[in-house]
Amino acid sequence: MSRLELYSPEGLRVDGRRWNELRRFDCKINTHPAFDGSSYVEQGNSKVICMVRGPMEPPMRSQVNQTQAVIEMNLNIASFSTLQRRKRSKNDKRMIEMKTTLERTFEQSVMSHLYPRTLIEVNVQVLAQDGAVLATMTNAITLALIDAGVAMYDYVSAVSVGIHDQTPLLDLNVLEENDMSCLTIGVVGKSEKLAMLLLEDKMPLDKLENALAVAIAGGHRIRDLMDDEVRSHGNQRVSKLTS
C-alpha cells in the first residue's frame, strides 16, 4: 500500500491544497485562429488543446442527419503526456469510452437542432496528464465550442472528486487519482443539472451525495473562471472592432 499521506490529519493534501480547493485553472480561447473555434486549458498539470471546425457541410453523405447536427469527436493523447512514454491507439478501449462519453455529453448540451445537415468536428489534443483528464477535455471542448459560436444551452464545466476515508477531495491530481475511487461530473451552468457523470470504480452510496455536492460547487467555480475568460476575450474583440 502506498505510504503517501494523501490527506494529512491537519487537513492538507499531498500538494498543499485543502479538501475543497481546485487546482490552478488556466484557460485561453481562440488560440488557433485557423479553426472556427479553439481553446487551451490547464488544470494543474493536465494540459489540453481543443480545436473545433463547423458547423459545416459534412464531407461524406453518410454523416448527414436531416434533423440535427452531427458531432464528431477526435481524441488524441500524446505519447509524452504520461510519465512513461506510451503510445495509445485510437481503438484503445479507454479512448473509445471517453470519446463516447464526450459525444453524449455534448449532443445534449449543444442546440444541435439549429444546425440540421451539418457536422461539428471536435479535435482534442491532450498534451500532459496529471489527473482529471476527462474533466479538462470537457472544459476545453466547452470553451472551443463557445469560441466557434455554436449555440449551447449553457456552459458544461467538469471536475473530478474522490473520497478518501470520510473526506471528499475535489479535483484530484494523478497521485490521488491512483489511490482512490473518483467520480467525474459535468455541471450545466449554474444549475445542479449534470450533463455527464462517470464513475469507473466503486464509491459508497452513503458518501455519494456529499461528494456530488462538493463537485457541483467546484463545477460552478470553474464555470465562473471560464466565463471570465470568455468575457474578457469578447471585450477584447469588441474593442478591436470599435477602434
CA–CA dist 61, 47 (Å, integer): 35
Does 232 help bind another protein (rule: CB under 8 A)? no
Does 220 help bind another protein (rule: CB under 8 A)? no
Q: Among residues 28, 45, 151, 152, which is the contact residue for another protein, using CB under 8 A?
A: 45
Does 206 help bind another protein (rule: CB under 8 A)? yes
CA–CA dist 187, 74 (Å, integer): 22
Q: Is the Cβ of residue 28 or residue 207 nearer to another protein in the bound state?
A: 207
What cell was used for 59? 464531407
For the beta carbon of residue 231, count every other beta carbon within 10 angstroms: 10
Q: Is the Cβ of residue 205 or residue 241 nearer to another protein in the bound state?
A: 205
Stretch near another protein under the rule CB under 8 A, chosen from 4-12, 109-117, 119-127, 185-193: 4-12
CB of 146 to another protein, least distance (A): 21
Contact between 139 and 158 under an 8 Å Cβ cutoff? The reply is yes
Q: Among residues 37, 44, 189, 219, which is the contact residue for another protein, using CB under 8 A?
A: 44
Q: Is the Cβ of residue 9 or residue 33 nearer to another protein in the bound state?
A: 9
Contact between 211 and 163 under an 8 Å Cβ cutoff? The reply is yes
The string of DSSP letters for 202-240 reads ---HHHHHHHHHHHHHHHHHHHHHHHHHHHHHHHHHHHH
Length of the chain: 243
- Residues ≥6 apart with Cβ < 8 Å to 77: 88, 95, 126, 129, 133
Q: Among residues 83, 93, 209, 240, which is the contact residue for another protein, using CB under 8 A?
A: 83
Does 209 help bind another protein (rule: CB under 8 A)? no
Q: Is the Cβ of residue 144 or residue 185 nearer to another protein in the bound state?
A: 185
Query: What does the binding site for another protein look like in residue numbers (CB under 8 A)?
Result: 1, 3, 5, 8-12, 15-24, 44-45, 83-84, 130, 165-168, 173, 175, 204-207, 214
